[in-house]
Amino acid sequence: MILENVVTWTLVGGVILFFLLPYIRQTKKNAQLSLETKERSKQMGDDIPTVQHPLINPSLCIGCGTCVRKCPEGTILGLVGGKSTIINGANCKGHGRCEASCPVGAITIGLGDTSKRSDIPILDENQQTSIEGIYIAGELGGYALIRNAVNQGKTIIKQLKPDATLSKQPDLFDVIIIGGGPAGISAALGAKEKKFSYLLIDQQAIGGTVRQYPREKLVLTDLVELPLYGKLTKSEYTKEELIQTWETIHKKFKIHSLLTKKLFNVVRQDESTFDVRVTDINDPKNIGRYKAQNVILALGRRGNEIALLKKIGIQFGSED
């Protein structure tokens, strides 16, 4: 009887070890890989997220790894020391699948403490910067995703009230929008819908960062509604389909735009007018100046935008 018990328990133990050991080995290997990725990202300056990202509560995290597996962008999160950890923050697009999939509510998506961030401009509830009349839409404000960009572009235009007397001046736009990505397109359509005089300026072609995605990249987007155009009906597009959509919108609604012109400064001219200064991408000595009552900066975050905002005089959470 005793012998039978010993044999049975030895067998049970053997079977458990047979399955458990490879699992433990794999978990250790994954943790090591995550640490290495974190270290590599740190060296390349890619470890810290620039937009909204997972904020993990380690005391709630049970280390199940669901968030790691659900991230559509790959290795943003990893398990280190049995807890979910950001290992490659700069690649985070803020989809929020980690938050939705966490079984214990240990993740929320946000920007963290923006009062300590020198790369996040101070904005009021209407996306207005510290300079009255200058607004920020889209990823430049810290929130990525096409849905957020489109919604912010719309929100700004909705509450904009250009001075009706000034609006009669032929060379003064009610609003100039810089950036022809989803935020800028949405703002331009909104401006057109409200019959504002507007001008959209971009240094490249229409479409924004989508143009920089890898070929055939699958873009996930929640259903959003653009002024005049209506809903973007699919939740998944290829990069090429989305560019085609932006180009069709640009053409169909005859968006008043100036392409291949790069903004280099916005200067207040008087109490109610801004002087918007651009250079020609193909001829940098060729400078253009445009006047507007309001300016929407929808520049994204792919270049030197933060330095440009600081030059314009826009205030940030933490001034270093």
Question: In whole angstroms, how close is the CB of 90 to ligand FAD at the nearest point?
Answer: 10
Kindly indicate which of the ranges 18-26, 115-123, 219-227, 284-292 contains the residues binding ligand FAD, using the contact rule CB under 6 A.
219-227
Question: In whole angstroms, how close is the CB of 152 to ligand FAD at the nearest point?
Answer: 8
Instruction: Please state, in angstroms and rounded to a whole number, the distance separating the CA atoms of residues 296 and 185.
Output: 11
String marking each residue 83-122 x if it binds ligand FAD according to CB under 6 A: ----------x-----------------------------
Instruction: Please state, in angstroms and rounded to a whole number, the distance separating the CA atoms of residues 313 and 64.
Output: 46
Nearest to 249 by CA among 184, 156, 158: 184
Kindly indicate which of the ranges 22-30, 117-125, 269-277, 293-301 contains the residues binding ligand FAD, using the contact rule CB under 6 A.
293-301
Encoded amino acid at 285, one letter = K
Which position among 61, 160, 299, 314 is part of the footprint of ligand FAD (CB under 6 A)?
299
Instruction: Please state, in angstroms and rounded to a whole number, the distance separating the CA atoms of residues 97 and 69.
Output: 10
Nearer to ligand FAD, 133 or 300 (CB): 300
Nearer to ligand FAD, 121 or 208 (CB): 208
Question: In whole angstroms, how close is the CB of 141 to ligand FAD at the nearest point?
Answer: 8
String marking each residue 177-216 x if it binds ligand FAD according to CB under 6 A: -xxxxxxx----------------xxxx---xxx--x---
Instruction: Please state, in angstroms and rounded to a whole number, the distance separating the CA atoms of residues 27 and 79.
Output: 9
Nearer to ligand FAD, 31 or 208 (CB): 208
Instruction: Please state, in angstroms and rounded to a whole number, the distance separating the CA atoms of residues 128 and 284.
Output: 30
Q: Is residue 292 a contact point for ligand FAD (CB under 6 A)?
A: no
Kindly indicate which of the ranges 75-83, 112-120, 158-166, 176-184 contains the residues binding ligand FAD, using the contact rule CB under 6 A.
176-184
Number of residues that bind ligand FAD (CB under 6 A): 36
Which residues bind to ligand FAD, rule: CB under 6 A? 93, 138-140, 144-147, 149, 178-184, 201-204, 208-210, 213, 219-221, 262-263, 298-300, 302-303, 305, 308
